[in-house]
Amino acid sequence: MKLTLPILNQLTVEIEITDNPYGLTLDDLFQMAARMNKKRSFLFVSKVLGKHIPINPKMGLLTGALLANRYIETVKGIETGCREDLLFSFLNDSKRYVDDPFIDERVNPVIIGFAETATALGHAFYHSFKQADFFHTTREELLGIAPVITFEEEHSHATSHRCYVDESILNNDREIILVDDEMTTGKTNVNIIRSIHARFPRKMYTVVSILDWRAEEHLQLYKKLEHELGITIHSVSLLKGNIEVAGSPEIEEQLSEETESICPTAAVSTIHINERFSNELTPINYSSISQERVVRDIPFSTETGRFGLSAGSNKLIDQSLEEIGQFLATVRTGKKVLCLGTGEFMYVPMKLASYMGQGVSYQSTTRSPIYIENHKQYGAKYGIAFPNPEDWGIKQFVYNIPPNEYDQLFVFFERAVSMDKLQPMLNELMKAKIPEIKVVFFNG
């Protein structure tokens, strides 16, 4: 099947679907947008990831489970018995939702999610395993600790990835599963496999993604790497095909940071989770360094997986987050609520949002600058930009929040920030005319 998807008048992408094991439609998974990036002019804007488009939070969690089911069918040849329930939930807005781990204890991989876009997807994928370890890569630079591995993501706006985990999580011969939202060239996976294999060699790697658009030349890169290193690389996706891009959008940057003060149009309040649930959370005391070389000493959260999670972590994290989510549901006043994660802090807010009742949507801030165009089939209809409250050297964006769409907004931060650093972001969010904003800090 071939389809031509116009993005803007000057840019189109032709797609040929070669593998669609669950019979999903393109509209189930993504919309297209133009990206303001010289390395890549277009973007598949996911409708299931919870990054650029608001979603039912259970849909993001379910997508990880659906990918895990596809992995076990494809790589291990095992039928889980969950396929039909998972597909029903996926196609019917999660009315029936598979939440418990369903992959047998004998399958014991090390799972790695890619920052920043796939931190939640990787964690949701990991949640389906009864016996596995997990961590996600990070763009954070930490003081006084060296990353166990580093690698580059060449097409990204923030190219350097770091992995801050104990060596024991990698110093073994277990299969490594790399989880990303989309592969166009797959070079990022080649880079991390080389980096891991140089220090911690093993025989098997698997690359998992929602979308796989690798052309033949990029598939050959994997075969050459397999031959060179004496390894096997499996690939798993929900949708696979080939793409051809025609044209180049003649666009200029639209969104600018509004750092000046404006008259507030929303009631703003803060919630400090560690003050209410200190026994439920596990802080980890590393200092980070901003791009402006400012040191922040506020603890990170172990629950994110940035520093590694073991097989027993899922149940304990679920119990903690369910309790916190139920508390947040009691301070919810709106019928239509948006929960907004920030940067790499995606899975925890998504999971909390899933416990907050009906009428709750979830998405996250992003580093990706996307061209805004308000028409039905385009993937970025609205957008705002602001300096990242946690690091003013980085610009952040939020997309697809129409004015007057929500009654209440919860904004989640892993670590507390000062109100003066937060104000530019709040000023921009107020443009969406949401009456009440609650800023939720996990640590600090």
Q: Which tokens go with 290? A: 């901003």
Lowest mean pLDDT segment, chosen from 97-106, 160-169, 213-222: 97-106
Nearest of 384, 302, 311, 380 to residue 347 by alpha carbon: 302
185 part of a folded domain: no
Residue 410 falls within a domain, yes or no? yes
Helix axes 347-354, 119-126, angle to 10 degrees: 60
Residue 371 lies in a domain: yes
Residue 321 and residue 323: Cα distance in Å, rounded? 5
- Model confidence pLDDT, tens digit, residues 96-124: 666 789 999 999 999 999 999 999 999 99
Give mean pLDDT, residues 52-78: 97
Say whether pLDDT at 379 is over 70: yes
Would 23 be classed as within a structural domain? no
pLDDT in tens, 273-325: 999 998 888 899 999 999 889 999 999 999 999 999 998 888 899 999 999 99
Q: ω before 116 within 30° of 0 (cis)?
A: yes
Q: Is residue 240 part of a domain?
A: no
Paired sense of beta strands 391-399 and 383-388, if any: antiparallel
Structural domain containing residue 424:
267-300+310-443
Q: Report the candidate in 42, 57, 55, 50 with the shortest Cα–Cα distance to residue 366.
A: 50
CA dihedral 342, 344, 347, 348 (to 10 degrees): -60
Query: CA-to-CA distance for 335 and 413, rounded, in angstroms?
Result: 23
The number of residues in the chain equals 444
Contact assessment for residue 76 and residue 236, using Cβ atoms and an 8 Å cutoff: no
Please check the confidence at residue 200 and state whether its pLDDT lies above 90. yes
**Tens digits of per-residue pLDDT, 224-240?**
999 999 999 999 999 99
- Split into its structural domains, the chain has a count of 1
Residue 282: Cβ within 10 Å count: 16
Tokens of 415: 């670590």
| CATH code of the domain containing 425 | 3.40.50
Angle at 183 between CA 67 and CA 5, to 5 degrees: 100
Q: What is the DSSP letter of 430?
A: G
Whole-number Cα distances in Å, 229 to 188, 203, 415: 17, 9, 40
CA 325/CA 329 separation, integer angstroms: 6
Looking at 270-418, list the stretches that DSSP marks H as alpha helix, in order from N- to C-terminal side.
273-276, 313-330, 347-354
The answer as to whether 133 is a domain residue is: no
Q: What is the strand order of the sheet 141-142 is part of?
A: 141-142, 288-289, 295-296
Which residues are CB-neighbours of 443 under 8 A, at least 6 positions away? 273, 274, 281, 283, 298, 299, 300, 301, 414, 415, 416
| Cβ(302)–Cβ(159) below 8 Å | no
> On the CB side of 43, how many CA atoms lie within 13 Å of its CA?
26
pLDDT band at 377 (very low <50, low <70, confident <90, very high): confident
**High-pLDDT (> 90) share of the chain, %:** 81
Domain contains 79? no
Full-model pTM = 0.95
Q: What is the pLDDT of residues 9-48, one digit of tens each?
A: 778 889 999 999 999 999 999 999 988 766 677 899 999 9
Whether residue 158 is predicted with pLDDT greater than 60 in this model: the reply is no
Give me the amino acid identity at 415: R
In a domain, 319, yes or no: yes
Q: What is the pLDDT of residues 317-368, one digit of tens each?
A: 999 999 999 999 999 999 999 999 999 999 999 999 999 999 999 999 999 9
Q: What is the pLDDT of residue 268?
A: 96
Closest listed residue to residue 110, CA positions, set 175, 53, 56: 175
* Token pair listed for 391: 């690091």
Enumerate the β-bridge partners of residue 129. Answer: 103
